[in-house]
Amino acid sequence: MPPAGKPVFRILLVDDEPALLDVGKQFLEESGVFLVTVTDNAEEALFLLREQQFDAIVSDYQMPRMDGISLLQYLREMDSSTPFIIFTGRGREEVVIDALNSGADFYIQKTGGSVALFAELRKKIEYAIGKKQAEAALWRSTEIFRTLVEQSNEGIIIVDFNAKILFANPRAADIIESEEDLDTSGRMNALDFIISPEGRESAVSALAKIQSGYEPFDLKYRIKTLKGNERRIECVGNLIEFGDLPAVLLSVRDITGQIEAENALKESEKRLRMLFKHTPVSLAVVSLEGGVFLDVNDMFEESFGYLRDEVIGKTVEELDLPVPGFEWDTFYSAVREGRQVRGMELCCRRRSGEICICRLSSSFVTIDDRPCILCSVEDITDIRADDAA
């Protein structure tokens, strides 16, 4: 793909949700690879397509008057081969099948956090455009094709349906740590690099599906390089013709660093979770909207007498925790105004009905794209009793 900062691909984004159009345009253009044009209806999309050239189209499914699949079918009937991605909240199986049968390159459901969702969308756009470029190159002379793929930043490998390697670009040789060009006489088999038997079985199944007309596939594998090092790769396969014979073009990316970073993040999140759980101060996470408990730690359970499962999904009022007074009014006012609280003393009621004096501090945090309040609650009843003595 082109380097960041030099946008060369024009994307048409079609969705009847203005907020999604704004977020999608911003996120995709941040990469520096795309220039995004947006519209909230399929009719205007057709007008734009008559006036301009686009490298890919991303469309919602359910829209007024003309839905995304109808737009796709119309374009395919007009012999348009522009990559088309259905990007929708509708996840029914029949919608997925209809989209793919109508010629969609990918189908992505709007689930999960916005960052991960649009990162997946960006990846699929890149793959769809890359697929079209590779297919176009194959219609040209072999020399032009070789020039294109040899300059690619992704590993490009062509195999037959038994996974014997027929072509590989220099980047593919780099990924498997070959000191010279790969043997493309058919004696080297791509399956031999996959470590696990399950991975090899998955690859064989994917090749069989492509041979039967299903495409594309997008899978991840653990491989061992020629130097004995383990790497993680992501592989996208498409049916092509190579030397007038059917074959499979594999676009291969080394995602070892990405996997290591994801694992490090998971480990960090695990450590934070353990720290939250076992901190010797009562901690609670409350949603900013609705004010319901999302989580509490062990010390909160011990201090207030509630089990975690009894607290989650409830508000402080439903648990009868606040003892009414101006201090709680002050706390609520601070939250509404978006101010942090530091060391505010409040009277709380335990499950037993016993009143305790607490020192409360709060901070605003975001968890899974959801604004929340992290509260620490220190029981200072004994301290205040000593002060009064």
pLDDT at 384: 84
What domains are defined for the chain?
A: 9-139 (3.40.50.2300), 142-259 (3.30.450.20), 279-388 (3.30.450.20)
pLDDT at 90: 67
- Residues of the chain with pLDDT > 70: what percent? 92
Confidence of residue 186 (pLDDT cuts 50, 70, 90): confident
Residue 221 gets the label, from left (phi > 0), alpha (psi -120 to 50) or beta, of: beta
pLDDT at 44: 94
* Average pLDDT estimate for 22-45: 91
Most confident listed range (209-223, 236-250, 307-321): 307-321
C-alpha to C-alpha distance for 285 and 288, rounded to whole angstroms: 9
pLDDT at 151: 63
Its pTM stands at: 0.42
For the record, the structure tokens of 3 come out as 């380097």
pLDDT at 135: 75
* Average pLDDT estimate for 227-255: 88
User: pLDDT of 58-80, one tens digit each?
Assistant: 999 989 889 999 999 999 998 88
pLDDT at 152 over 80: no
The vertex-270 CA angle with 269 and 271, nearest 5°, equals 90
For the record, the structure tokens of 240 come out as 């092509």
Return the sign of the alpha-carbon dihedral for residues 162, 255, 221, 97: negative
Return the sign of the alpha-carbon dihedral for residues 119, 104, 77, 62: negative
Smallest CA-to-CA distance from 57 within 151, 148, 129, 114 is with 129
Residue type, 171: R
pLDDT at 359: 93
Residue type, 211: Q
pLDDT at 313 over 90: yes
Is 51 within 8 Å of 26 (Cβ atoms)?
no
Strand order of the β-sheet with 106-109 is 34-39, 9-14, 56-59, 84-88, 106-109
Is 224 within 8 Å of 201 (Cβ atoms)?
no
For the record, the structure tokens of 49 come out as 């397509």
For the record, the structure tokens of 176 come out as 């498997």
Distance from first CA to last CA of the chain, Å, rounded?
Answer: 73
Lowest mean pLDDT of 10-19, 211-220, 378-387, name the range. Answer: 211-220
pLDDT at 355: 93
pLDDT at 24 over 80: yes
